[in-house]
Structure 1
Amino acid sequence: MRQQVDALGIKGSILVIKNGKIMLNYALGNNTDTSYLINSVQKSMTAAIIMRLVQEGKLSLQDKLSKFYPQISGAQKVKIKNLLAMTAGLDLKPGAKLGRKHFVSDSDNIQHDAAKTIFEPDLLNKWHYSSLNYVYLCGIMSKVTGQSYEQLFRDTYIKPLKLRQTEFLWSKPGKIISSHLVPGMIYRQGRYDVVKHKVALRGARNELGAGSIVMSNHDLAKVIRYLLSGSLLTQKSRKLLYQSGPPAYYNGGFYNNIKLKTKTANGAGEGYYTFMRSTNNAKTIVIIQSNKTREGEFNQLKSQINQIMLELLGRKADSANIVG
């Protein structure tokens, strides 16, 4: 297994847990407690906070987006469940980007996004991936609770799980240093260029619940177990949250493989990669993170790590495909 992982050529941190026991825990170029920007893997955590509010009766999967943001085009037709499953038919106008160039506040960013959002009726209830869906979920949970997304995240994950290498990218320098974050790098023209912190920070602010958290492998594994087999959600809530269908079998921040009973999440951006594979019961988990990336290699690595997960499960490479 280690030979297969090393063959990927990834410089970063590797954690493999099989049947609840650590099989591999090592690092190449960094340390096992190094933290990385997890990018889209964060969506699974955002989705679970929403589902917890549903579980508590403070929100319904059938609630319309218009209840919270009536100014958004098509909001009267889009439901919470659509946002979670990326089937809302929402996107930004051509050429537009999430958030403002200069950050003012989360609510200001969301209002700015709302003015740039278009609704495509033909895409309603059809798969169309956009982080915009999860930015709106952050705004909705804040409106329902009166708390910021950051506070909700800290109260849901960081404090109760005693996460040691987990922080928001915009946290104070001392907290970032304590999280053991390494800078993201992108290989260009024969060398690795460091992504400037202010550039990464702008992206983190603009992708509030979809790319603003840094985590170590162990912290991420702890949260994945909490999501899939812990006390955060009931079995009924998990079943509703991860109910999904073709083509992507995506819901609740995960690509859900019904046949293999696995969940997949990937993150890429600002010079970081995060690859997470887990069984539905979180007893077997693969987490590989890196801060050295190359343009054009992400999909290839994703596919290779899918095959590693298949072999870990004792399945032949051609017996099934892991989506995501």
Structure 2
Amino acid sequence: MRQQVDALGIKGSILVIKNGKIMLNYALGNNTDTSYLINSVQKSMTAAIVMRLVQEGKLSLQDKLSQFYPQIPGANKVKIKNLLAMTAGLDLKPGTKLGRKHFISDSDNIRCDAAKTIFEPHLLNKWHYSSLNYVYLCGIASQITKKSYERLFRQTYVRPLRLRQTEFLWSKPGKIIASHLVPGMIYRKGRYDVVKHKAALKDAHNELGAGSVVMSNHDLAKVIHYLLVGKLLTKKSRMLLYRAGPPAYYNGGFYNNNKLQTKTANGAGQGYYTFMRSTNNAQTILIIQSNKTREGEFDQLKGQINQIMLELLGRKARSANMFG
């Protein structure tokens, strides 16, 4: 197994848990407690915060987006369940990006996003991936609880799980240092260029619940276990949150494979990779993170890591394409 992981050529941290026990825990170029920007893997945590509100009766999966943001095109047709499953038919106008050039506040960013949002009716109830869905979910959760997304995240995960290497990218320097974050790097023209913190910070604010948190492998594994078998959500809530269909079988921040009984999440951006694979019962988990990336290699690595997970599960190679 280690030879297979090392053959990927990834410089970062690797954690393999099989049948509830640590099988591999090592690092190449960094340390086992190094933290990385997890990018889209954070969506699974945002989704669970929203589902907890549903579980508590403060929100319904059938509620319309218009109850919270009536100014958004198509909001009277889009439901909370659509946002969670990326089937809302929402996207940004061509040529525009999430947020604004200079960050003011989360709510201001969402107002700016709303003004740039388009609704495509033919995509309603069809899978169309866009982080915009999860930015709106953050705003909805904040409206209901009267708390910032960051505060909700800390109350839901950081404090109860005693996470030690988890922080928001915009946290104070001392906290970032304590999280053991390493800078993201992208290989260009024969060398690795460090991604400027200012640029990464801007994107983190704009992505909010979809790419603003740094975590170590151990912290991420703790959270995945908490999401899938912990006390945060009931069995019924998890069933509703992770119910998904073709083509992507995506819901609740995960690609859900019913045949293999697995959850998959990937993150890439600002010079970081995060690859997470877990069985539905969180007994077997594979996490690989890196801060040294190359343009064009993400999909290739994703496929190779899928293969490693299949072998970890004792499955045949031909099933590798069944992961997200």
Aligned to 1:145: 145
Residue identity in the other structure for 1:301: L
Aligned to 2:269: 269
**2:289 & 2:319 partners in 1: Cα distance?**
27
The Cα offsets for residues 179-230 of structure 1, whole Å up to 9 and x where unpaired, read as 0000000000000000000000000000000000000000000000000000
Report the Cα offset of residue 113 of structure 1.
0.1
Report the Cα offset of residue 244 of structure 1.
0.1
Q: CA RMSD in A?
A: 0.5
Matched, 1:34 2:31: no
SS at match of 2:210: coil
Identity %: 87
Aligned to 1:121: 121
Report the Cα offset of residue 259 of structure 1.
0.2
**2:250 & 2:202 partners in 1: Cα distance?**
27
Aligned to 1:295: 295
**1:23 & 1:229 partners in 2: Cα distance?**
20
* 1:110-189 alignment, distance < 5 Å: 110-189=110-189
**2:221 & 2:257 partners in 1: Cα distance?**
19
**1:139 & 1:315 partners in 2: Cα distance?**
41
**1:140 & 1:318 partners in 2: Cα distance?**
41
The question of whether the paired residues in 2 share the 8 Å contact of 1:249 and 1:323 is answered with no
Residue identity in the other structure for 1:153: F
TM-score (norm 2): 1.00
**1:144 & 1:284 partners in 2: Cα distance?**
35
**1:319 & 1:115 partners in 2: Cα distance?**
43
SS at match of 1:187: strand
The Cα offsets for residues 99-156 of structure 1, whole Å up to 9 and x where unpaired, read as 0010000000000000000000000000000000000000000000000000000000
The Cα offsets for residues 20-39 of structure 1, whole Å up to 9 and x where unpaired, read as 00000000000000000000
* 1:8-87 alignment, distance < 5 Å: 8-87=8-87
Report the Cα offset of residue 323 of structure 1.
2.5
The runs of 5 or more residues in structure 1 that have no matched partner are none
Report the Cα offset of residue 320 of structure 1.
5.6
Aligned to 2:194: 194
Matched, 1:94 2:101: no
SS at match of 2:268: strand
SS at match of 2:140: helix
SS at match of 1:207: helix
TM-score (norm 1): 1.00
The runs of 5 or more residues in structure 2 that have no matched partner are none
Residues paired across the two proteins, number: 324
The question of whether the paired residues in 2 share the 8 Å contact of 1:38 and 1:267 is answered with yes
The question of whether the paired residues in 2 share the 8 Å contact of 1:93 and 1:116 is answered with yes
Matched, 1:106 2:106: yes
Residue identity in the other structure for 1:197: H
**1:229 & 1:147 partners in 2: Cα distance?**
26
The Cα offsets for residues 27-83 of structure 1, whole Å up to 9 and x where unpaired, read as 000000000000000000000000000000000000000000000000000000000
**2:253 & 2:286 partners in 1: Cα distance?**
17
The question of whether the paired residues in 1 share the 8 Å contact of 2:303 and 2:320 is answered with no
Report the Cα offset of residue 274 of structure 1.
0.1
